[in-house]
Amino acid sequence: MERLQKLIAKSGYCSRRKAEELIKKGKVAVNGKIITEIGYKASFRDLITIEGVPIFPEEKVYLLMNKPRSVITSTADEKGRKTVLDLLPEKYRRYRLYPVGRLDYDAKGVLLLTNDGDFMNALVGPRSDVEKEYLVRVEGVLSRKQLKTLEKGIQLGDYRTLPCKTYLREASTKKNSSLAGIILKEGKYHQVKEMFAALGHPVKRLTRIRFGELTAEGLQAGEVRELKPHEIKKLLGKIKTYQMYDCK
């Protein structure tokens, strides 16, 4: 049993907040009875109607996008910039898809999109065990010793980063730049940029090359593909909380 507003959101009809408004306005009925109580619980085994029209669970969609630069990872942008949703093929536009975590406007690479809220929350939550691998071009000549510092975890304001893995691809005195990889299991806002900036090496370019075992192989910038059932299963296996949500 779940709260009525959550079921309405899961049907793709509208957001949870809008659903609460509809409930308060007396537009929602469960098994023929108008419900105006916000905490009311039901399930999709009940007949839920909005202004007399029945709603059903929305089909779950899981997409992998090769996000290009200069696109915002958001469902809308007040500055009118292009969002990742604007890049989706027409057939996916009817779903209420959300990006799983975020990639900065100037970053590119692997980005998942889904309408499965539990899956999304579990993947970006603190109990997610999924590796995210980034390739970064930074200013200046990085040393392996500096990368070891990152690996142990560094202090960023009042937060200490978790241990992680790194590698050095190139460190050029001539170009005064370096190329490094970093593999994190967490994803704080601007974390990779802040970690390298803390070492005195601002990030010039950032690409997420892997999310779990998923890469953007075969996808042009801006293209998407649906995840295969075994890929979804593998990601779910990594999530310690998802099964809990699932068998509620």
Q: Quick one: DSSP state of residue 104?
A: -
Here's the x/- map for ligand URA, 96-135, by CB under 6 A: it reads as: -------xx--x----------------------------
CB of 111 to ligand URA, least distance (A): 9
CA distances from 50 to 39, 45, 99, 111, 174 (A): 17, 16, 27, 34, 66
| Cα 70 to Cα 105: distance, rounded to the nearest angstrom | 5
Among 67, 96, 108, 193, binds ligand URA (CB under 6 A): 193
C-alpha radius of gyration, the chain, whole number: 21
- Closer to ligand URA by CB, 19 or 72: give it: 72
158 noted as active-site residue: no
Q: What angle do CA 91, 60, 1 make, to 5 degrees?
A: 145
**For residues 23 and 107, which CB has a smaller minimum distance to ligand URA in the complex?**
107
SS3 (DSSP) at 30: strand
Asked whether position 171 contacts ligand URA by CB under 6 A, the answer is: no
Q: Least separation, in Å, of the C-beta of 40 and ligand URA?
A: 39
Yes or no: say if 136 and 180 are a contact pair by the CB < 8 Å rule. Answer: yes
Beta strands in the chain (DSSP E): 2-3, 28-30, 33-34, 41-42, 48-50, 53-54, 62-67, 98-99, 107-114, 132-139, 155-156, 159-160, 165-172, 177-184, 203-211, 224-226
Q: Give the number of residues in contact with ligand URA, rule: CB under 6 A.
A: 8
Minimum CB–partner distance for residue 223 and ligand URA (Å): 19
Q: Which is nearer to ligand URA, 107 or 171 (CB)?
A: 107
Among 69, 190, 234, 238, binds ligand URA (CB under 6 A): 190
Binding ligand URA by CB under 6 A: which of 71, 191, 207, 211?
Answer: 191
Of 111-119, 161-169, 188-196, 233-241, the segment contacting ligand URA by CB under 6 A is 188-196
In angstroms, the CA 106 to CA 68 distance is 8
* Active-site residue (options: 104, 106, 116, 246): 104
- 206, 104 contact by CB (below 8 A): yes
Considering the complex, state which of residue 16 and residue 137 has its C-beta at the smaller distance from ligand URA: 137
Footprint on this chain of ligand URA (rule: CB under 6 A): 103-104, 107, 190-193, 206
Which residues does the annotation mark as catalytic? 104
